[in-house]
């Protein structure tokens, strides 16, 4: 009887965990160099799949710190064609096939993105053509791992496998067209990644009552907004400022919201806004659950709700 009860408990626990989703903020930064905020990248794990959304600077390193082998990435989805969402693609492509603890990928790299994504794939393959020849000659990699299978996306469901769906939708990133956000659904759970955007009703509709909304934000301090309004407002046209983000969160009402792709602007002797000011200004217009994202923060979405894993910022500077 004891063994039977133990087996039942283990089966129920395994079944429950199989229905969970995990979302990890690999990089929460911008094109500005910052050792604590790497380039934009978010990992979504569900039902054995590891989906990478954007591949900004340092994504491969953050995956290593998170102890996720590069070979295990199922697919990569790009929100738009700005460099800070693309710069780790060459690293991921070239490193994953190598005979290392993180590598040994044997299949083509699956890549989804806006128009131009196939040119990116061709460019990366061309860039590493001589490297690939040498690696193949030395027997270090498999030929099948040296291809990129790139797919240009349109709004709608673009990935549907093993109960996981990824839906792309258009967002408002100013003159950058098209720019996409993504919604990921699995086992009754849902996550929305805004990409780079200001207010747009389509995002609110996709994010309404989701378990987790990961949203971009831009902020100039009050002092900068008063001294240089034209300078700051130029950024606010295509990236949500704290007040716009508060409006989006109020209308969408997610179970949990977290800021990522955090743009902190300064000019001359006017310093950047602090994270405390960012938090205060968002919370002035939104009373729901909201936190400022940090690299390697991880959320688990289960029947019990959306929970932030215990987090130590020092993990960003050390080996796992």
**The pLDDT of residue 68 is above 70:** yes
pLDDT (0 to 100) of residue 16 = 46
The order of strands in the sheet holding 148-152 is 148-152, 109-113, 75-77, 49-53, 41-46, 21-27, 298-302, 305-308
Residues written for the chain: 320
Segment 52-63 mean pLDDT: 97
User: 1 falls in which pLDDT band (50, 70, 90)?
Assistant: very low
298, two tokens: 């991880």
Q: Does 319 score more than 90 pLDDT? A: no
Look at residue 15 and tell me whether its pLDDT is greater than 60. Answer: no
Least Cα distance to 120 among 154, 95, 143, 92 occurs for 92
Percent of the chain clearing pLDDT 90 (strictly above): 88
Residues 6+ apart with CB under 8 A from 319: 65
Query: Residue 116 above 60 pLDDT?
Result: yes
Q: What is the pLDDT of residue 317?
A: 55
User: Smallest Cα–Cα separation from 46: which of 78, 69, 74?
Assistant: 74
The reported pLDDT for the residue numbered 310 is: 76
**Tens digit of each residue's pLDDT (9 = 90 or more) over 171-230:** 999 999 999 999 999 999 999 999 999 999 999 999 999 999 999 999 999 999 999 999
Pairing of strands 75-77, 49-53: parallel
Please report the pLDDT score of residue 18 as a whole number.
87
Q: What is the pLDDT at residue 199?
A: 97
pLDDT at residue 233 tops 50: yes
Q: How many CB atoms lie within 10 A of CB 163?
A: 14
CB 47, CB 163: distance < 8 Å: yes
Strand order in the sheet with 189-193: 156-161, 164-170, 180-186, 189-193, 212-220, 257-265, 290-292
Q: Is the pLDDT of residue 52 over 80?
A: yes
* Mean predicted confidence (pLDDT) in 80-85: 98
pLDDT single digits (tens) 130-142: 999 999 999 999 9
Alpha carbons 190 and 210: distance in angstroms, whole number: 5
All domains of the chain, ordered by start, with CATH?
A: 25-308 (3.60.15.10)
CA distance 171 to 261: 15
Which is it for strands 156-161 and 164-170: parallel, antiparallel or unpaired? antiparallel
Interatomic CA distance for residues 59 and 43, integer angstroms: 10
Residue 67 has pLDDT above 80, yes or no: yes
What's the pTM? 0.92
Q: Report the pLDDT averaged over residues 305-320.
A: 70
pLDDT at 4: 44
> Counting beta carbons within 10 angstroms of the beta carbon of residue 236, is it exposed (0 to 12), middle (13 to 18) or buried (19 or more)?
buried
What does the pLDDT look like over 17-51, one tens digit per residue?
789 999 999 999 999 999 999 999 999 999 999 99
Q: Is the peptide bond before 249 cis (omega within 30 degrees of 0)?
A: no
* Mean pLDDT value of segment 48-67: 97
Residue-level pLDDT at 311: 67
Written as six digits, the tokens of 262 are 């955090």
Q: 257 pLDDT exceeds 60?
A: yes
CA 310 from centre of chain: 19
Give pLDDT, residue 7.
Answer: 44
Residue 312, pLDDT score: 67
Q: Please give the average per-residue pLDDT across 89-98, as a whole number.
A: 98
Q: What is the per-residue pLDDT across 157-188, written as a single tens digit (0 to 9) for each?
A: 999 999 999 999 999 999 999 999 999 999 99
Longest Cα–Cα distance of the chain, Å, equals: 74
Q: How much is the pLDDT for 222?
A: 92
């Amino acid at each position: 009887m004891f063994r039977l009860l133990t087996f039942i408990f283990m089966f129920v626990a395994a079944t429950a965990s199989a229905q969970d989703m995990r979302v990890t903020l690999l990089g929460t930064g911008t094109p500005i160099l910052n050792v604590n905020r790497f380039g934009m990248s978010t990992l979504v794990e569900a039902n054995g799949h590891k989906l990478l959304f954007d591949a900004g600077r340092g994504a491969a390193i953050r995956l290593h710190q998170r102890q996720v082998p590069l070979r295990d990435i199922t697919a990569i989805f790009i929100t738009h064609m700005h460099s800070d969402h693309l710069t780790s693609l060459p690293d991921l492509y070239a490193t994953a096939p190598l005979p290392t603890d993180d590598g040994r990928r044997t299949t083509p790299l699956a890549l989804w993105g806006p128009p131009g994504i196939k040119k990116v794939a061709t460019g990366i393959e061309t860039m590493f053509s001589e490297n690939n020849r040498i690696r193949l000659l030395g027997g270090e990699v498999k030929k099948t791992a040296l291809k990129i299978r790139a797919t240009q996306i349109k709004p709608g469901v673009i990935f549907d496998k093993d109960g996981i769906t990824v839906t792309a939708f258009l967002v408002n990133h100013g003159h950058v067209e098209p720019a996409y956000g993504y919604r990921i659904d699995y086992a009754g759970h849902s996550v929305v990644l805004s990409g780079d955007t200001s207010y747009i009703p389509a995002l609110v509709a996709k994010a309404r009552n989701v378990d987790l909304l990961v949203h971009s934000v831009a902020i100039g301090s009050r002092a900068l907004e008063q001294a240089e309004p034209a300078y700051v407002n130029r950024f606010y046209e295509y990236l949500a400022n704290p007040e716009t983000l508060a409006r989006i969160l109020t209308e969408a009402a997610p179970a949990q919201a977290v800021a990522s792709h955090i743009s902190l602007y300064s000019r001359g002797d006017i310093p950047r806004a602090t994270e405390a000011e960012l938090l205060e200004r968002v919370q002035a217009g939104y009373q729901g659950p909201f936190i400022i994202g940090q690299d390697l923060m991880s959320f688990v979405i289960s029947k019990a709700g959306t929970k932030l894993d215990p987090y130590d910022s020092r993990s960003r500077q050390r080996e796992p």
